[in-house]
Amino acid sequence: MRKLTLVAFVLFAAAGAAAQSGSALRPSLLPDRLARIDQALQQYVDQNRVAGVVALVLRDGTPVYEKAFGWSDKEAGRRMAVDTVFRIASQTKAITSTAVLMLMEEGKIGLNDPVSRFIPTFANTTVAVRADPGTGPLIGTGISVVPARRPMTIRDLLTHTAGISYGTQNHLAALYEAKGLGPAAGLGWYTADKNEPICTTMERLGTLPFVAQPGEAFVYGYNTDILGCVVERASGVALDEFIRTRITAPLGMHDTHFFLPPEKRERLAAVYASGSNGRAMRAPDGSTGQGHYVDGPRQSFAGGAGLLSTARDYARFLEMVRNGGALDGVRLLAPRTVQLMTTNQIGTLHSTTGLGFGLGFQTTDRYGANGMDSVGSFGWGGAYGTMYRVDPQARLSLLLMIQLVPNATDIREKFPTLVYQALVEAPQHER
């Protein structure tokens, strides 16, 4: 494991430079407190609650903590490394949302455009509701299908207020399974095994009933997968090509892929699952476990959950957003567009306790609503246990990478706390 000596030198050298220049000395992350992360994360590995972990913390874009613990593949005897590749599942959503907003800036997509402009089967969407006499055809006991009250928009999809779930609810599961979705798609969101383009899958989705009227509820589901198809239709290229040529390659994210190049196979972490005793056990092959990210058909580019990446790669994407849309001379978005992404756009539909949702990110609107995040922070995570947060006020980006589904641990909640307890700097509103 990497020693903290270099970290300490960088932090204290920066502080000394600030003092010499006459600027105010700004407290930073204390190395002795950062060292507490080591003990905590190692304990998860030692107790076999997770097989392995990579943790990365950036302050002002510079790594101040980067370590790997445990095993990338315990059975194969491969140790975890900081360049290990992880399935990032729903962390894909922020990248796809960025693609949508890049096209918005080019005038090819409007936030209030109806989804049917790009996918015709969404022209007459329906909603499954509790049945009243005469409301519509029954699809189950006490459930009927009614027309949507208004067209679904691109903004609805970006904010997860389109009313679209993953089709695993009891009254919808059979209908979705018959279309190759819901229970037929692993845990609902998985399409890496499909031998068809994502737009073909999303066209079928448009014929199915959803669970809420557009704009009336926060419903987590296929929203960003639909947006992936919208990107393809608006740009004229496949989603993987758009993301590679317009986002990941320009940002130097060379380990971010929808399907892993075969030569990187040994760098892909294995998936584990929390057992009934809380201990991690190897997940099975297939859609609910290891997946088809190396040997699959490589046809379905799922904008909601399909990417693989490393902590370092994804950190470059986060730093681009934290910096207002640009990194190392490469600009992807305008600062005002980033502000849209990272500002709550849906009031209390996502939460009544101080969390909101922007155009691709969960937002922290009240201090204490999400641990010790500053107001204005944003983030999300992935089904395999990965998580990230960006705190512009504290100038921090945090990433935790594991491969555990289902995840019965509290590691994703504890990690940010361990980072913030090392930051000897009060939130601005408390000063």
CATH value at residue 330: 3.40.710.10
C-alpha to C-alpha distance for 233 and 225, rounded to whole angstroms: 13
120 and 57 co-located in one domain:
no
Q: Can you give the residue range of the structural domain that contains 211?
A: 95-241
194 and 230 co-located in one domain:
yes
Tell me the sheet residues that pair with 282.
272
- Asked if residue 430 is part of any domain, the answer here is no
Please give the tally of structural domains in the chain: 2
Name the residue among 39, 43, 37, 78 with its Cα closest to residue 55: 37
106 and 188 co-located in one domain:
yes
Name the residue among 306, 409, 378, 360 with its Cα closest to residue 87: 306
265 and 234 co-located in one domain:
no
Q: What's phi and psi for 77, nearest 5 deg?
A: 75, 25
- Buried b / exposed e over 381-410, threshold 16 CB at 10 Å, is bbbbbbbbbbbbebbbbbbbbbbbbebebe
pTM score:
0.91
CA 39 to chain centre: 27
C-alpha to C-alpha distance for 344 and 359, rounded to whole angstroms: 8
Name the residue among 158, 157, 154 with its Cα closest to residue 113: 154
Preceding amide of 406 cis, omega within 30:
yes
At a CB cut-off of 8 Å and minimum separation 6, what does 58 contact?
Answer: 64, 315, 318, 319, 396, 397, 398
222 and 259 co-located in one domain:
no
Structure token digits, residue 157: 């999809």
332 and 187 co-located in one domain:
no
343 and 259 co-located in one domain:
yes
- Asked if residue 312 is part of any domain, the answer here is yes
362 and 395 co-located in one domain:
yes
209 and 333 co-located in one domain:
no
334 and 412 co-located in one domain:
yes
At a CB cut-off of 8 Å and minimum separation 6, what does 404 contact?
Answer: 50, 51, 271, 272, 273, 274, 280, 384, 385
- Asked if residue 431 is part of any domain, the answer here is no
- Asked if residue 15 is part of any domain, the answer here is no
316 and 237 co-located in one domain:
no
> Which pLDDT score, from 0 to 100, does residue 153 have?
98
Name the residue among 124, 295, 101, 107 with its Cα closest to residue 206: 124
Q: Are 239 and 228 in contact (CB under 8 A)?
A: yes
- Asked if residue 158 is part of any domain, the answer here is yes
391 and 319 co-located in one domain:
yes
> Which pLDDT score, from 0 to 100, does residue 130 have?
76
C-alpha to C-alpha distance for 52 and 48, rounded to whole angstroms: 9
> Which pLDDT score, from 0 to 100, does residue 427 have?
77
Enumerate the H helices of 236-334 as residue ranges. Answer: 239-243, 311-322
Cα-based distances in Å from 200 to 96, 100, 120, 191, 352: 18, 19, 12, 12, 37
- Asked if residue 29 is part of any domain, the answer here is no
- Asked if residue 7 is part of any domain, the answer here is no
pLDDT in single tens digits along all 431 residues of the chain = 444 334 443 443 343 333 333 333 344 789 999 999 999 999 999 999 999 999 999 999 999 999 999 999 999 999 999 999 999 999 999 999 999 999 999 999 999 999 999 999 999 999 998 766 555 565 666 789 999 999 999 999 999 999 999 999 999 999 999 999 999 999 899 999 999 999 999 999 999 999 999 999 999 999 999 999 999 999 999 999 999 999 999 999 999 999 999 999 999 999 999 999 999 999 999 999 999 999 999 999 999 999 999 999 999 999 999 999 999 999 999 999 999 999 999 999 999 999 999 999 999 999 999 999 999 999 999 999 999 999 999 999 999 999 999 999 999 999 999 999 999 987 776 44
- Asked if residue 296 is part of any domain, the answer here is no
> Which pLDDT score, from 0 to 100, does residue 134 have?
56
Tell me the sheet residues that pair with 391.
396
